């Protein structure tokens, strides 16, 4: 059974907390899979599956050196996430400003 096409979506890839934690670890530098897997309470094959999804979406690159495979982060695909989120910055700024105005006016009325 093959993985659904959605697994090739960067949004789906970063939705998983384990994959986000793997990315955080890779931001510290290139690492082999065994070192990446150390803090997790899941099997090495499970870590490999998470890495495969991250590789499929381009967030992680791998290279082979001898018998080991090393992984490093490639943040380029995260630009799509940044661009999508940036559309909402104005919306949330307005909503938070309105909430602040309401709270300030409401607290003034109670005094």
For the cut 90, the answer to whether the pLDDT of residue 74 exceeds it is yes
Smallest CA-to-CA distance from 32 within 65, 61, 59, 69 is with 69
Contact (CB, 8 A) for 25 and 31: yes
- pLDDT tens-digit map of 1-33: 344 444 569 999 999 999 999 999 999 999 999
- pLDDT tens-digit map of 38-68: 999 999 999 999 999 999 999 999 999 999 9
Measured in whole angstroms, the distance separating CA 54 from the mean position of its chain's CA atoms is: 9
Domain 5-73 has CATH 3.30.930.10: no
Q: What is the pTM (predicted TM-score) of this model?
A: 0.75
């Amino acid at each position: 059974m093959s993985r659904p096409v959605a697994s090739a979506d960067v949004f789906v890839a970063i939705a998983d907390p384990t994959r986000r934690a793997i990315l955080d670890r890779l931001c510290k530098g290139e690492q082999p899979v065994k070192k990446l897997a150390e803090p997790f309470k899941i099997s090495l094959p499970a870590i490999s599956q998470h890495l495969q999804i991250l590789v499929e979406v381009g967030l992680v690159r791998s290279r082979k050196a001898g018998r080991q495979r090393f992984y490093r982060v490639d943040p380029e695909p995260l630009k799509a996430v940044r661009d999508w989120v940036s559309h909402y910055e104005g919306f949330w700024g307005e909503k938070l400003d309105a909430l602040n105005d309401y709270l300030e006016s409401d607290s003034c009325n109670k005094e």
